[in-house]
Structure 1
Amino acid sequence: MLKRAVAKVTGDSNGEDGHSKSSSNPASGQTTPVQPPSAQSTVNSTQSENTDKKFRLSHIFSGHTLPGTRRSTSRGVSLDEPRPSAIKRAQKVEEKERKAIQQEKVKEKIAMLRRQSDLRAAAIETPEQRARYGEQYPEEWNKEHDKWAHIFTICDDNKIGDTVTLRARIHTIRDVSSHLVFIVLRQQISTIQAVLAEETDVITGHMVRWAKRLPLESIVLVRGELQKPREPITGATTEQAEIKVQELYLVAPPKETLPFNVYDADLVLKKSDGHEGEDSGSHGADSDGEGAPRDENHSIERHEGPVITQRVRLTNRIIDLRTPTSQAIFRINAAICNNFRAHLDKNGFIEIHTPKLQGGASESGSSVFMLDYFGRPAFLAQSPQLYKQMCIAADFKKVYEIGPVFRAENSNTARHLTEYTGLDIEMEIVDYYDAIRVIDGMLKSIFAALRDNFKPERELIKRHFPHEDLVYPEDTLILPFAQGVRILRESGYVDEDGSMPKEDEDLATRAEIRLGELIKEKYNTDYYILDKFPTSVRPFYAMEDKENPKVTNSFDIFIRGQEICTGGQRIHDIEELEKKMQRLSISSKGMQDYLEGFGLGAPPHAGCGIGLERLVFLYLNLGDVRLGTLFHRDPRSLPLQKNVEGELRHPEASTNPPPWKHPRLTLKADGESDLRDMQALEKLIANYGDASNTAWLDDRYKVWRHPETGAAVGYSPFKGYAMIVGDPLCDKTQMTQVVSAFLQYIKKEAKLKPIWMMVCEEVEEILGGRLNWCTLSVLAEERVDDLAKNPARRDPDIQKKVRHARKEGVKIEDYSLNENVPDEVVHETDERIEDWRKNRKGEQVHMTDVHPWRDMSHRVYYIARDASGKVCAMVVLHQLSPQHGWHIKWALDFPGAPNGTIEHVILHALENNAGSKMTFGVSATSTFVAKHGLSKMTTKWLTKAYASIAEHNRLTNKGEFRQKLGAVEDRVYICYPRHGLSPAGIQAIVGFFKQ
């Protein structure tokens, strides 16, 4: 049994079977695509049913729920007959695909007509008409730029009939006819409607047509007359006026394709079950033909647009920050800082700026980011706490700081960041509650300023993030921590583990939120203070309550049930501080300056730290702290580092820089080198490749090359689709650039529909996060990170088989890198491969055929012979990037091989490469993971369906041999454009692997 499993597992990880008797062994290292139940496993196997099933899968993978279907009550997971409407939708999808090529032809024709229209306009328009639009505006306008209008105050600063000039972005365009177009212009949170209508001897028809073709998000300069609209405007913030355009100039168009437009992102959408809606354009017809009848009373109204997920927004942050909602959020953000500073300045505080490079460890025990500070250890400050206290010891009396705070905590939640802005306070006190009164007054002054001065911003944000205004009494509720715990216990609340909250333990987030709900019910406040926290959950410098040493003079402040501020009184007596540090086993190393201040005498003092971004997101009910952060930093937000050239196996085949731009090469006068040939594909695989990339050496794959870097992407054209396999071969910092250029090639030149398979998380982030593709995972690389710890050496069953093979006289020949395999050995092995092929049974699923002698310079061969000298097994390792090590490309157990031969050869190969990394390649996983773009309902259905498929096909068997080698799964992803996987796409995937 193990022999059979090993041969399957160690076959070509790109799908090539390594055993002659079976093609469905669950231990296989094959890549097996998800398929609907086969004709043999269903009751009715007619062609029409197969078509219906393909429709259902395509509908699911496209991000939709199933129309007109219901779950069968039979065993397992099956599908009933679809309704006629479902079949009709499938036919529409097919028709849509057939029209794709026609649409490309139409676009080419439109482009030609536009060029002809431009030539006609140049011939018939007067110089005065021609000067009213284009890409060059009159230079004298720059001299009056301080008089350009601002949309937010345009009605206050001007009256109806005035001529106004303004620079703004195109928010959206409504093409009414060839004579009339409406353009909504945007400046930050404000929008205004502009009307451009054909006018004899003034505004030409060509100017109107030129304007409506301007790309959304272009920056334009507009001059026109402020006029009263004939009907109320609902699609702009300025409702009582519009601009009658007289001159229009393009200042800066977007040079790249927008991942989404701001108009769609700013629409107010209905709630859905995680479902991603259809994209709807914000333009009208995109042609130069006649449109609807002229109607200057018509204006732009709001409509539902596509759902743009938070992940897509955050990945394309610059575009998202342009939305009026984001602009409003960061006006609130700035207002909090301004009022924080103004209130404290008025009360005699001094603003300070403390170092963010520290030589000592964290004062609170939090994880820190370690740095190499010129050969000395250092850390990024996880708070300014120690320096604030040092300033109090230096008689600054009252200080505050607005600055960055760093927390090296791997918390991927909606309320944590690794870098955020801290609003910190420290002050001398007489009584502990002196500090609480100051901090409470400061926060209430901020709330009052936001309430009184930022109503337009708050109302704008409420459209997308509905919430009630913050409720709080004049006298702030201060609740002892123990009493808060009792309120929770009395309500019957228990933690997730079933335990009751305790008075000597901190509250979990879930408990805090529930306590906030109970306090709102009992006291009608969203804002309150939890006081007297237990000593066990506070830092070493927290002052203990003199009457009850089990609690401290410390507090947390809450908004809507979540903490925004932590503060309290500090220990100011040096002897007491040192005793507590000693009791808690806290080292004074690196904290000498801090302790020195107390040794010199420090007054009683207290303070707090507030997280700005958390305050913003809770005050506005944003749901995620990242939305209140300009460019968020969490454990996964930074890009991967560039490959260091020294790490490449072939530095001369680098893509960053490519050989023709390499600074060490002799350059010609134009700065280019004489090396014009692209880097060899084989060397790129050795520099940047993973197991899937080795499939590109097969004849069925075409390899596209990026002109600027020489990067490579392998794909196979199949039935109108580009079946793309594996990550691009390039430096990690070039991934986005290469993926974008390749997809443009596939769309514009190859004219294929892309389906991208077996990509890593970084590429999935580009496709799913940036481009809003649907992404899922049912596949994983099976990796062994350290072969030196190979547990199979101690496995009794494996070792028994190895001993048997040796006893039968099996000998292994090694052929290392750059060592040619003799022709007679090649010939003899090829004959045995043919024997192996003939011995295979059943339908084969694979990505490559067996061609072991290609790229021999990057392969290592282990060939086994039996006692008679006949070749009986072969293992081939393919060299990958330094990051991935080696790929067990093929492990073939030929017919008649002694039992234990393949185990013997594999272990021999792995022991020869001890210390290296190894991958068995891609194989199916036991679970389905929906990463992006699939609705909750669809994900739930697919998870159950795949679980049934996995159980039926024994995918839950990890593979005994791989387990004993310590192999672990590294998820890879299947990605496709939204609504881009039709029934033909499902069929293409299945056919591609069976080809």
Structure 2
Amino acid sequence: MSAVKHLLSKLSLDKSSNAPREHTHADHPSLHEPSREEIEKEEQRAERARIDEEQAKEREANKREAYEARKEEEPVCFRARVHHVRAISPKIMFLIFRQQIHTIQGVLAVQEGAISENMVRWAEGLSRETIVLAHGKLQKPREGQEEVSTTTVHNFEVRVEKLFVIAEPSVPLPFQVEIASRPKTTEDQEDYHQVRVGERTRLDNRVIDLRTPTRQAIFRIHAGLTRLFREFLDSRRFIEIHTSKFEESGVESGASLFRVDYFGRPAFLAQSPQVGKQMCIAADLERVYEVGPVFRAENSNTHRHLTEFTGLDVEMAIERDYTEVMDLLDQMILHILRGLQERYRDEIETVKLQFPHEDFVFLDKTPRLKFAEGIQLLKEAGWKEEDGSDPSEYEDLSTKAEQRLGQLVKEKYHTDYYILDKFPLSARPFYTMPDPNNDNFSNSFDFFLRGEEILSGGQRIHHALMLEQRMRSAGLDPDSMKEYVDGFRWGCPPHGGGGIGLERVIMLFLKLGNIRWASLFPRDPKSFSRSGNDSVETTAALAQQALLQGPESSTVAKRQGKDMPPLENLIAKYGDGTNTSWTDPSWTVWRDEKTGAAVGYMTKSGFAIAFGNPLCETKQIPQVAQAYLGYLRQENLKPIWCCVDAETESYLTDSLGWSSVIAVANQKLNPAQADLEDDKNVRRKMHRMEREGLQVAEIQGEVDKETRDELEKKLEEWRASRSGRQFHLTGVRPFDDMNHRLYYIARDKEGRICALVVLAEIAAARGFQVKWALEFPGAPSGSIEYTLSYVIKKMGEAGVQSATFGPGASQHLHSADNVSGVTMKILEKSYNGIASRFNLTNKSLFRTKFGVEEEPLYVCYPKGGIGLKGVKAILDYE
């Protein structure tokens, strides 16, 4: 149909019939002949419709096959990004066009009456990542070149005839997709001098990173996996459900919760759909599955942990026994693995360019081992835990043990996929059904890919009385989960199920090495930095210069002879609120001969108890930690490492197989954003002190003798007024290392000293530590709140964006990595008793007045290397 007829057909229809027909002006005297402008617009619309139709058809087929199956001189029209531009001369140039994972070469050359030199020059100036609409014809590569090796379409290129810009970058790109897309082998060549895009840069600019063919392929496989998951379960009469992501309390042991304010009432983000799945079974839905977000508030900065991931969960009623669940889930995994390898071969090969790996190997019949059999395999292979003991069939596997067992299974059965059955009951959640023949074990299992767990499942307890008893044993009140428990009280069939972490499966299947590459927009404990790490560190460094002169020492500079960098300088360059204690004479400070790095520790009952990270560059932590642990072995001391951050904890637990718990938190705040009058009590005390005429004086560096004597007298009064046993990392010694201290002294209108706040300079990214904040006997009530508020405001005005009160006790002990259920219960009981008896959290509660946020710190120890003696040693260091 011509453009004119198409326009006319849209203007009227025969009222007596539903079918369109030709019309004359007599039919509608009010209609006029379309103008030339209307005709041109309609022709443009028709052309766009034709192009859209062509592109839609092309998207239905594989792009590479669609092009390579065509004929020479066939016209093409497509929209793509400019991936690369290369000029040969003023009259000819090459462009590489990119559509998702496919690329094709374009040639733009001067043609008399069609393409001018100006057009070629204009195209040379196109920015990479510009979106263009290209018209042209397919042609074979130029003579002497059989195919184009740098694109995915090899045997054709496009002779460009028209080129239109649809959109282009308006700011410089953080990196070029063409550079980020280079194969890993090219990037790793020693003589290759072009820029390599780092992991942090990629994640910080995720939208650009996602444009690379490798990332495009990963998320096609990502989508394919969920498609195969649904496809299999739909064929088995399962119903897809969508459970609530708000819960009153959690059900998964070892998984922390994100607390939310639910209209003034406490609630939590769901750490799994477990409650909803089981309620659906109690409601006779019989077979259900869900694909949805899962939230875990676990401060684990490892290669395999995220705080938010996609869960693929299954629950089903059981007819005979729990092996029905295991059989079905096994068949499902095999369906997914076969489907990925058969349907996504091109995508897998694309991923291999940047993540080289061997194809995933699995058998038609999956090997199934009892947990005890897996432990026996480890023992026969000579596997030992970190403390030198044999692995136990009554405790869960550590990450390192899992990986070693995966290697042994691969050697024996020649598969990357296997099942471990009959887990110890102590390592499973409260709702897991015990083994009826041995209540040390359970009717539960894990599935493993490439030596790492990807699915946990088993039979659930369906008897209400047994469930309530298990809940109480786990410290949960059944009435707090009444909606959940009622389903069992009203009668629930035997059932079981399991859950898969989608991102972890993708990571292991494609051997990506880091789960963040398998998550579209990964969320981990370091996400949502308020100002960005670099800007915080820069601002903090500048702010410190405004208040104090920064240190010169480093652990990466070449050392002159045997001279060690001064400890005080290392604390100011690398330290946090724990390291500042090491200047106290009660500490032993080990120094690394190679780097000059330092670790502070105390000895008690055969333990060497270190507090705080090693003082060194982050990249040196493994080297320094190994040297320090070697020194302890020579001294016959057992190591415990307290108050370390996520970087150090990750090395100790992932690389050395240590266990870790969270008992302490770094209590930090942002002085530049602190609202000091948000707390009513603080606000009231500040106003009272203003009326009292309290004045605060600042002293930087050396404190004069008269003021020191006056302060020493006040400190003696303060010490005499203290009662009860005190837990601390250092004595009150405010005049150590005065070069890295700031002193704020509050006096009343009579000139008497009422309060003292001392700031210690620490690493630039951490800003300052409020080392001591003391209110002296006889001072007006509120003196310390007033003085602290003054100091925090002073830091904020100087641009300091990070400060800390140092470590404070957590309300409860939390498991972090590689801790068995039995060990955790013993540690929790000991910690809670001591914390309650000695009011360990009082200091933390006081600090909350100033808007502190808690950043978990870890207590790490070799697996099996701590018990009641170790707990006592940690708390009995003074």
TM-score by length of 1: 0.52
Quote the offset at 1:320 in angstroms: 0.8
Q: Which residue is 2:279 aligned to?
A: 390
Q: Which residue is 2:573 aligned to?
A: 780
Q: Which residue is 2:465 aligned to?
A: 575
Q: What does 1:695-710 correspond to in 2, within 5 Å?
A: 695=545
Q: 1:421 to 1:691 in 2, by over 3 A?
A: closer
Q: Which residue is 1:167 aligned to?
A: 79
The answer (yes or no) to whether the contact 1:362–1:368 under 8 Å persists in 2 is: no
The answer (yes or no) to whether the contact 1:690–1:884 under 8 Å persists in 2 is: no
Partner of 1:551: helix, strand, or coil? Answer: strand
Give the alignment partner of residue 330 of structure 1, picking from 193, 209, 219. Answer: 219
Q: Which residue is 2:338 aligned to?
A: 448
Q: What does 1:38-57 correspond to in 2, within 5 Å?
A: none
Q: 1:238 to 1:916 in 2, by over 3 A?
A: farther
Partner of 1:603: helix, strand, or coil? Answer: coil
Quote the offset at 1:164 in angstroms: 1.0
Quote the offset at 1:586 in angstroms: 2.7
CA distance in 1, matches of 2:186, 2:381: 31
Q: How many residues align?
A: 567
Quote the offset at 1:248 in angstroms: 0.9
Q: Which residue is 2:173 aligned to?
A: 258
Quote the offset at 1:637 in angstroms: 1.5
The answer (yes or no) to whether the contact 2:75–2:138 under 8 Å persists in 1 is: yes
Q: Which residue is 1:358 aligned to?
A: 247
Q: Are 2:516 and 1:604 aligned?
A: no
Q: What does 1:838-853 correspond to in 2, within 5 Å?
A: none
CA distance in 2, matches of 1:470, 1:145: 41
Q: Which residue is 1:708 aligned to?
A: none
CA distance in 1, matches of 2:237, 2:325: 14
CA distance in 2, matches of 1:638, 1:605: 40
Partner of 1:881: helix, strand, or coil? Answer: coil
Q: Which residue is 1:233 aligned to?
A: 148
Partner of 2:500: helix, strand, or coil? Answer: strand
Quote the offset at 1:309 in angstroms: 1.7
Q: 1:498 to 1:214 in 2, by over 3 A?
A: same
CA distance in 1, matches of 2:193, 2:699: 42
CA distance in 1, matches of 2:282, 2:168: 56
The answer (yes or no) to whether the contact 1:401–1:424 under 8 Å persists in 2 is: yes
Q: 1:211 to 1:370 in 2, by over 3 A?
A: same
Which residue identity is paired with 1:564? I
Which residue identity is paired with 2:543? N
Quote the offset at 1:142 in angstroms: 2.9
Q: Which residue is 1:553 aligned to?
A: 443
The answer (yes or no) to whether the contact 1:363–1:386 under 8 Å persists in 2 is: no
Q: Are 2:532 and 1:532 aligned?
A: no
CA distance in 2, matches of 1:887, 1:234: 72
CA distance in 2, matches of 1:375, 1:311: 38
Q: 1:572 to 1:880 in 2, by over 3 A?
A: closer
Q: 1:899 to 1:438 in 2, by over 3 A?
A: closer
Q: What does 1:50-89 correspond to in 2, within 5 Å?
A: none
Q: Are 2:131 and 1:219 aligned?
A: yes
Give the alignment partner of residue 144 of structure 1, picking from 18, 36, 50. Answer: 50
Give the alignment partner of residue 881 of structure 1, picking from 633, 655, 672. Answer: 672
CA distance in 1, matches of 2:181, 2:460: 47
Partner of 2:84: helix, strand, or coil? Answer: strand
The answer (yes or no) to whether the contact 1:172–1:216 under 8 Å persists in 2 is: yes
CA distance in 1, matches of 2:250, 2:807: 37
Give the alignment partner of residue 204 of structure 1, picking from 82, 100, 116. Answer: 116
Partner of 1:549: helix, strand, or coil? Answer: strand
Which residue identity is paired with 2:161? Q
Q: Are 2:297 and 1:408 aligned?
A: yes
Q: Which residue is 1:243 aligned to?
A: 158
The answer (yes or no) to whether the contact 2:219–2:518 under 8 Å persists in 1 is: yes
Give the alignment partner of residue 195 of structure 1, picking from 107, 120, 143. Answer: 107
CA distance in 1, matches of 2:50, 2:765: 66
Partner of 2:126: helix, strand, or coil? Answer: coil
Q: Which residue is 2:876 aligned to?
A: none
Which residue identity is paired with 1:391? C
CA distance in 1, matches of 2:184, 2:240: 43
CA distance in 2, matches of 1:558, 1:887: 63
Quote the offset at 1:162 in angstroms: 1.6
Q: Which residue is 1:432 aligned to?
A: 322
Which residue identity is paired with 2:236? N
Give the alignment partner of residue 891 of structure 1, picking from 701, 714, 737. Answer: 701
CA distance in 1, matches of 2:257, 2:79: 46
Q: Which residue is 2:759 aligned to?
A: 918
CA distance in 2, matches of 1:335, 1:577: 37
Quote the offset at 1:902 in angstroms: 10
Q: Which residue is 2:198 aligned to?
A: 309
Q: Which residue is 1:947 aligned to?
A: none
Partner of 2:309: helix, strand, or coil? Answer: strand
CA distance in 1, matches of 2:170, 2:347: 31
Which residue identity is paired with 2:80? A
- CA deviation vs aligned residue, 1:524-576 (integer Å, no higher than 9, x gap): 11110000001110111111111111110100000111111000000111122
The answer (yes or no) to whether the contact 2:698–2:745 under 8 Å persists in 1 is: no
CA distance in 2, matches of 1:553, 1:213: 66
Q: What does 1:956-971 correspond to in 2, within 5 Å?
A: none
Q: Which residue is 1:484 aligned to?
A: 374
- CA deviation vs aligned residue, 1:577-603 (integer Å, no higher than 9, x gap): 122223443322421111100111111
CA distance in 2, matches of 1:966, 1:476: 51
Which residue identity is paired with 1:191? T
Which residue identity is paired with 2:394? D
Q: 1:398 to 1:489 in 2, by over 3 A?
A: same
Q: 1:440 to 1:221 in 2, by over 3 A?
A: same
Q: What does 1:515-914 correspond to in 2, within 5 Å?
A: 515-640=405-530, 690=540, 692-693=542-543, 695=545, 780=573, 881=672, 890-892=700-702, 900=708, 909-912=743-746
- Alpha-carbon RMSD across the aligned residues, in angstroms, is 4.1
Q: 1:201 to 1:966 in 2, by over 3 A?
A: closer
Partner of 1:308: helix, strand, or coil? Answer: coil
CA distance in 2, matches of 1:915, 1:337: 60
Q: 1:415 to 1:917 in 2, by over 3 A?
A: farther
Give the alignment partner of residue 510 of structure 1, picking from 394, 397, 400. Answer: 400
Partner of 1:353: helix, strand, or coil? Answer: coil
Higher RCO by CA contacts (8 Å cutoff, separation 6 or greater) = 1
The answer (yes or no) to whether the contact 2:316–2:495 under 8 Å persists in 1 is: yes
Quote the offset at 1:315 in angstroms: 1.3
Give the alignment partner of residue 340 of structure 1, picking from 229, 250, 255. Answer: 229
Q: 1:277 to 1:416 in 2, by over 3 A?
A: farther
Unaligned runs of 5+ in 1: 1-136, 281-305, 643-683, 699-724, 727-756, 759-776, 796-878, 926-964, 969-995
Which residue identity is paired with 2:77? T
- CA deviation vs aligned residue, 1:731-767 (integer Å, no higher than 9, x gap): xxxxxxxxxxxxxxxxxxxxxxxxxx99xxxxxxxxx
CA distance in 1, matches of 2:524, 2:256: 14
TM-score by length of 2: 0.59
CA distance in 1, matches of 2:388, 2:345: 44
The answer (yes or no) to whether the contact 1:692–1:922 under 8 Å persists in 2 is: no
Partner of 1:389: helix, strand, or coil? Answer: helix
The answer (yes or no) to whether the contact 2:419–2:446 under 8 Å persists in 1 is: yes
CA distance in 1, matches of 2:232, 2:699: 68
Q: Which residue is 1:381 aligned to?
A: 270
CA distance in 2, matches of 1:315, 1:691: 22
Q: Which residue is 2:846 aligned to?
A: none
CA distance in 1, matches of 2:483, 2:377: 43
Q: 1:967 to 1:884 in 2, by over 3 A?
A: farther
Quote the offset at 1:888 in angstroms: 6.3
Q: What does 1:265-284 correspond to in 2, within 5 Å?
A: 265-270=180-185, 280=194
Q: Are 2:354 and 1:464 aligned?
A: yes
Quote the offset at 1:174 in angstroms: 1.7
CA distance in 2, matches of 1:217, 1:619: 30
Quote the offset at 1:641 in angstroms: 7.6
CA distance in 1, matches of 2:447, 2:70: 46
